[in-house]
Structure 1
Amino acid sequence: MKYSIDKQDHYAIMTLEEENLNSILAPDLKSELVIFKNEGLTNLVISLAKVKYIDSSGLSAILTGNRLWKENGSFILTEINHASVKKLIEISRLESILTIIPTIEESLDYVLMDEIEKELNDSTEEE
């Protein structure tokens, strides 16, 4: 599976360099997501800009990532540019479960705001 990763202090941006996220690539994506989580990445943004097709295995890999980051951090899908990918997510009713943000810039804003909110909540609980 081809992808690029840009790791920063508070987030990482993973850009899938594949047109199809299917049963052939989904196990590799799941493995990479587990590795990233185990490395301590607290927020992951995945760009699907180049992905034109996702099957149920691909959705399962994405849901695995969502589950890994659910308790601690943000897992965001961004740049869903192809209608077939949008339609599958809508048909599967996953837009209410997944965090989907139109652009990378907006995704990074979301991550930073989420971090600030968590810090404020933590400091409020300590008082």
Structure 2
Amino acid sequence: MEGHTLCWTDIPVIDLDRAIAFYSAVLGAPVTKEEGEPGVEFGLLPHDDNTSGCLTLGGDNQPSLTGPLIYLSVDGRLNEAVAVVSANGGIVQQASHQIGAYGYRAVVIDSEGNRIALHSATA
């Protein structure tokens, strides 16, 4: 198998502009507002290959505290990312901590009510 196991994710949101501001601040890179089908807007997460995702409005998906835990890379800037969570409408559920040989993570609730993990190879 070539490439990454996770190739895309749709993160459900309630307020697209608020979610774009949250993820742009936490990821330290712009999340861009895009239009797919006419009248369907989404927030495209930063990416440099085919592994990424977007913020989506409506449909069957709803923000969740109990669904799959998606890890987003903030490599080398985990403390900075965690520091801006609260100021952008999120909640730090688990502060930065080591996850064995796999690096470090923090678990946060985003501005929309989704539980996500922020990951970095270094503290």
**Higher relative strand content:** 2
Q: RCO (CA 8 Å, sep 6+): is it higher in 1 or 2?
A: 2
TM-score normalised to the size of structure 1? 0.28
TM-score normalised to the size of structure 2? 0.29
**Higher relative helix content:** 1
